Structure 1
């Protein structure tokens, strides 16, 4: 075989090896979500790729048969093509035996380099750039080869299946998409500029609904504006002006005996129409939705949906009222500052300078972590607010000037009112790590 013929044969072998390498990487790297989208748009080839991914054994068997056969032929042809040429050149400066040894080594290196670059690295990097588009083009020829080599495919596939069964491993590809996978994809999209950072934060907030309890966003007991059932109209008007809310619980004697609630819209309509506001003179009293304080925000949303309500009373295990929550509270947690500044959070977390914050004790720990860029807090399942964090860390009711150090920050109690932590000064004690 002449040198030209050998080079042409090596070119064919490299092309064949590149084809199998591309077929292998595109099937492995193809995302099922993207393939399903392509199939739904009418690309039948994408559906065929999905079926192959479910049973990839025969496909990869053909790939490995092709790659190994080409590698063996490439070594034989390459050594026979280049060794005589290098041997003839090297014999001018060294003995025949030495020249043949070095010629073989040179031929080996050249063949390995050609196959490594053009038959392995280049096609695999090409396939990683757009795996789905290339996979749908490769699946047709590969299925023809699977049919052509069916006896070999059957033998090697069954042998591999037996090995998998012996090891107790699944025979089919298992694709389980978790919330962590979705969050990782959205974070990658935000870094790439495909997704706005605020939009990515909204998606992350949605997944937090399953882990955040109602206590993290509710209006706490001491901040609830409520009416007595026999309050005169003057008291109702003064309360509404001083504490404007969308709904007001109506109680009998104290806040733990809730009769229902009145909607602010109903009261405004009565004022505009000149009707009296007294609760015993026709103001609609709505039945209050009561939920336990251990529910997550996702469960509260479901309760709102089932009851067709957007306001709920939160009680603890002793049937004492601990707070109230509205649908708007939950949605504000999801949307963050995407639709505008969060006034409540601005009041709860005030940044004084680059290294210090003044934070309300009832601020949810998730908001504190986000503001301070802290990944984790100790004993996170034992509290929901910054005040709870300090109580757990100190193992007692904090007093003014008590402090806790954690993750490069000092949390110092600034004000306590009747055992309630009002204000906490947070100071960064270690310089912020550069990304």
Structure 2
């Protein structure tokens, strides 16, 4: 019975090492760091092990290897002999009894080692990796220090082999955007977050990849005030405006001088008093159209008025951006501002898409992948880039397994696209 107790203890120790290995390796460093800052017992030790995976894995491997050797000795030399004697006493021939005794013991030890020493501990570790890592880390650090010479030798040898094959032992990649999207999608499926929350998170991730021209209100849709007009015309335009702020230009939209807030003009407008509009013009930040959308948001937060003027590299006015445009990019357009949805799925599976729909949102909707480096920001821009010219009504082009047909033009602007699936490959080269 003493040998059996030793075998059970060794299997349990193997389970502890397997549990520790998967718990520490699976733990998120950010979560361990947060637990350490909160003074969770064992969190600092777990973080130290996660920061040095080579030494930790060497420690675990030493422990598991020694346990395997001892288990073999105990099960083969002791338990196997005992079972063989029992079989001989039962009348079995000595040769068969020894073979069968060793075989049965090895099978039982192997089975228990796999179940109790590997699978069950690893399943437990995956349920709460950070919590279990905090629990086992202090003990594993003591083992690592006790076996320091062997740990150092194994770790150094592993690094040497990696250098020989031209690789690094440390992981070269951090958490990627695709991993974040997958995690969010998994959380949505599990009911941890709602669908609208997942869409907003996706919008925030897209925002970091967009240039400001991809979220701005384009010049063709901007209502602006011309100081060259008469006071009566300006007054009528201000009274008819649905906006709380309007850009002001001196004769041409390429000569924007700032922004007026209509609430400051309520008095003069309501009382019919004469006024000089220039006195009410506030300075607005001027942004290049290549600026990141997140940098544009930062500029809006620091501005006197939450509106920025966007110009291209030649100094031409391209459009304007407001906090509402940023919110639109994250949460989607409000129906009061844009009564028509940007994408409508039809009964036959095709899509009617607005040409102004952001290309990355359209790609998410259709399930196709856009190239990382691109010069367009909208669905219309994608079609124009594919055709290499301005299209005519009725023209089509095939992109990543989808056929894009121009069904409506507003002047030279692509207003509506009919998008139909033509095959299963949805990758833009």
Q: TM-score when scaled to structure 1?
A: 0.84
1:292-335 Cα deviation digits (max 9, x unpaired): 22222122123324444421222222222222222221132123
Give the Cα separation in 2 of the matches to 1:356 and 1:277. Answer: 56
**Cα separation, 1, equivalents of 2:149 and 2:402:** 67
CA distance in 2 between counterparts of 1:112 and 1:373 reads: 51
Q: After the TM superposition, which of the residue ranges 317-326 and 172-181 deviates more from structure 2?
A: 172-181
- Give the secondary-structure state (helix, strand or coil) at the position aligned to 1:194: coil
Is 1:416 aligned to residue 409 of structure 2?
Answer: yes
Matched, 1:32 2:29: yes
SS of the aligned residue for 1:347 comes to: coil
On the 8 A contact 2:49/2:141 being kept in 1, the answer is no
Return 67-76 or 234-243, whichever deviates more: 234-243
Q: Which moved more, 1:139-148 or 1:126-135?
A: 139-148
1:199 and 1:73, CA in 2 relative to 1: closer, same or farther beyond 3 A?
A: same
Work out which of the residue numbers 8, 12, 20 in structure 2 matches 1:15: 12
Moved more, 357-366 or 215-224: 357-366
State the Cα distance separating 1:55 from its structure 2 match: 3.0
How far residue 93 of structure 1 moved from its aligned partner, in angstroms, is 9.1
Gap regions ≥5 residues in structure 2: none
* 1:216-242 Cα deviation digits (max 9, x unpaired): 222222222122214234423443455
Q: CA deviation at 1:284?
A: 0.3
Equivalence for 1:331: 327
Select 1:264's aligned residue among 250, 255, 262.
Answer: 262
Paired with 1:379 and 1:194, the residues of 2 have a C-alpha distance of: 30
Moved more, 136-145 or 179-188: 179-188
In structure 2, do the counterparts of structure 1 residues 107 and 299 end up closer, same or farther at CA, with 3 Å as the change threshold?
same
Aligned-CA RMSD value: 3.3
Q: Distance in 2 between matches of 1:220 and 1:375?
A: 26
Is contact 1:48-1:139 (8 Å) kept? Answer: yes
Q: Which runs of 5+ in 1 are unaligned?
A: none
Could you say which residue in structure 2 is the equivalent of 1:359? 353
**In the aligned structure 2, how far is the partner of 1:307 from the partner of 1:139?**
50
Count of residues in Structure 1 that have an aligned counterpart in Structure 2: 424
CA distance in 1, matches of 2:318, 2:149: 72
Q: Secondary structure at the match of 1:120?
A: helix
Report the TM-score when normalising by structure 2.
0.85
Q: Are residues 270 and 431 of structure 1, via their aligned partners in 2, closer, same or farther at CA, if it must alter by over 3 Å?
A: farther
Shift of 1:381: 0.4
1:245 to 1:358, Cα distance in 2 relative to 1, 3 A: farther
Instruction: Say yes or no: does 1:223 pair with 2:221.
Output: yes
Alignment partner of 2:188 out of 168, 186, 190: 190
Q: What are the residue-to-residue correspondences of 1:86-235 with 2, within 5 Å?
A: 89=87, 96-160=94-158, 163=161, 176-235=174-233
2:366 paired with 1:373: yes
